[in-house]
Amino acid sequence: MITLYGFGENFGLPEVSPYVTKAEVQLRLSGLPYVKETTGPQSSPKGQLPWMDDDGELIADSHFIRLHLERKYAIDFDEGLGVVERAQAWALERMVENHFAWTLIHMRWLTPENFAKGPAHFFDQLPPTVQEDVRRAALGQVAENVRAVGIGRHSEAEILALGTRSLAALSALLGDKPFLMGLRPTSVDAAAFGVLAGVLTPFFDGPLRDRAMTFGNLTAYVDRMMAGIYPEFAWTPLRHPAQPVAA
């Protein structure tokens, strides 16, 4: 039995974390049965979510979950792709996760209104005596992480420009295809969908979301992935402007 550990549904999304979403999309694409448990990062062997228990084998990190599924169940999420396409997909996934995702984290945690209505509530169940201290400490840690990867050193306008450039790159690479590498979803779609849905959920506001909403093929892509992968989730389709807008 496979158990996937994640944060769970919130923020108008079937799963809060883009990385847990990626792992869950991989599981759903694989067709393997699984159950999902809601937990905190401290439960994970690597201190971050997602992690997975597959009949007693513990695997942490969305990439290593992918490798485990591919090896143990003889799945190739990139079936049909050549060597160069696989390399392009990997490069795109790294851009999405190691660069673009930090602009999402900045939008959620370091925009005070978004923090107040979103991540601040992660700590609501703690005893009132420690709640505010833990909340502040978590915010400080995220701010430090965002600074450590470089994004947090830039002005708001520069962060928005970087995020918009990634949106424009994703939009150009998607073009009029249904999925990033062609007619069927592959590994990179699991990663890109997680981050794009996180940016586009109407739960949060901000200029990065406003920019994302102008890329009609990306909003349609998120709607398509949501309907195909999470058909049970109540997602209101986004508005699709006729033409993508260049950065």
Ligand X SMILES: N[C@@H](CCC(=O)N[C@@H](CS)C(=O)NCC(=O)O)C(=O)O
| Minimum CB distance to ligand X, residue 242 (Å) | 33
Give one DSSP letter per residue of the chain, joined into a string: -EEEEE--SBTTBS-S-HHHHHHHHHHHHHT--EEEEE--GGGSTTSSS-EEEETTEEEESHHHHHHHHHHHTT--TTTT--HHHHHHHHHHHHHIIIIIHHHHHHHHHSSHHHHHHTGGGGGTTS-HHHHHHHHHHHHHHHHHHHHHTSGGGS-HHHHHHHHHHHHHHHHHHHTTSSBTTBSS--HHHHHHHHHHHHHH-TTS-SHHHHHHHT-HHHHHHHHHHHHHH-TTS--PPPP--SSPPP-
Selected from 3, 30, 39, 48, the binder of ligand X by CB under 6 A is 48
In the complex, least distance from residue 246 CB atom to ligand X, rounded to whole angstroms:
29
Which listed residue (50, 118, 119, 185) binds ligand X by CB under 6 A? 50
Site size for ligand X (CB under 6 A): 10
Q: Which of 43/172 has CB closer to ligand X?
A: 43
Q: Which of 63, 86, 117, 224 binds ligand X (CB under 6 A)?
A: 63
Residue with Cβ nearer ligand X (47 or 182): 47
Contact flag: residue 49 with ligand X (CB under 6 A):
yes
* Site string (9-28) toward ligand X, x via CB under 6 A: --------x-x---------
Q: Considering the complex, state which of residue 96 and residue 170 has its C-beta at the smaller distance from ligand X.
A: 96
Token couple for 79: 């079936």
Q: Which range, of 47-55, 113-121, 151-159, 170-178, touches ligand X by CB under 6 A? A: 47-55
Kindly identify the residues of this chain, within the stretch 164-193, that bind ligand X according to CB under 6 A: none
* Binding status of residue 201 toward ligand X by CB under 6 A: no
Identity at 184, one-letter amino acid code: R
Q: Which span sits near ligand X by CB under 6 A: 61-69, 72-80, 87-95, 201-209? A: 61-69
Q: Which residue is nearest to ligand X (CB)?
A: 48
Both tokens of 236, joined, read 């209101």
Would you tell me which residues interact with ligand X (CB under 6 A)?
A: 17, 19, 41, 47-50, 61-63
